[in-house]
Amino acid sequence: MTELIVAEEHSQLYELWSARGERNLSVCHVDFHCDMRGLLIDRKRGTARFIDQGIPYVHRLDPGSYLSHAIMNGMVTRLRWVHHDFGGRDFDYVHCVKYDSDLSALPYRILGARRCVPLEYAEETYSQWGGPRPDEHLDIDWDGIAHADYDPALVRRLMGEFLHREYTPRSIFLARSPAYSNPDPALFEEFIRGLEAKFSVQAVRLPPAPTPGPDSRFWRLFRRVDHGMYKLMHRLGWH
């Protein structure tokens, strides 16, 4: 039977995998964002490594980097990242995964950390995706289906595609990610009910993750500038 687990934040999946002692998972990651901040992937060689262990944000485990840590710790060894055409690295505005072919990866290839781990990896858009494979754990971020900037008609279409597609993944993890997703809770609950009906299963809801305290005015301003800079760079092809 396929299990369905629902959580507020995506990094709660890392905590779940860690508690279960999971290793060598095959994961289909459906998300607007990569959640692999600080990771450098060599797609030809099938390896991954941290870009530089000396950079503080690489060490921080949070919703934007939990997959990086899961990969580096051997929890995940096969990963497909799936997103809409309006999604992925070109539309992200925070630090995202680097590929060995990126020009910006050159300094890290020369000077970065050398410990590599095996990773079978692919990035696909919905139009390229054939659906989850039987051996994959389906990891869904709600913003991959209902991003805050998606038109309601697009959200409905993506929901319908997920609910009517034929697939039986090993498990489904669904994160609400309220900071990036459509704010209507009824829409999120409707999707959960659709998954429950499709797989004849009752969703298991994890307790909410602790919420951090409010940032100072300085850090809010810094984050806006930082996000704007990275969004522009990514749209220009500099990742």
CATH architecture of 3-235: 3-Layer(aba) Sandwich (3.40)
Q: Given its phi and psi angles, is residue 74 left (phi above 0), alpha (psi -120 to 50 degrees) or beta?
A: left
- pTM beyond 0.75, yes or no: yes
Tell me, what's the pLDDT at 60?
Answer: 83
DSSP 133-196: -TTPEEEEETHHHHBTTS-HHHHHHHHHHHHHS----SEEEEE--TTTB-S-HHHHHHHHHHHH
DSSP three-state, residue 117 = strand
Contact 36, 144 (CB under 8 A): no
Contact 15, 215 (CB under 8 A): no
Nearest to 112 by CA among 44, 46, 53: 53
Contacts of 108 (CB under 8 A, 6+ apart): 40, 51, 52, 98
Tell me, what's the pLDDT at 184?
Answer: 97
Going by pLDDT thresholds of 50, 70 and 90, the confidence category of residue 135 is very high
Tell me, what's the pLDDT at 217?
Answer: 56
Helices (H) and strands (E) in the chain, counts: 8, 11
* Cα(160)–Cα(126) distance, integer angstroms: 13
Contact 32, 84 (CB under 8 A): yes
Nearest to 112 by CA among 62, 47, 35, 60: 47
Question: pLDDT tens across 52-97, in order?
Answer: 756 666 678 999 999 999 999 999 999 999 999 999 998 887 678 9
Residue 216, pLDDT > 80, answer: no
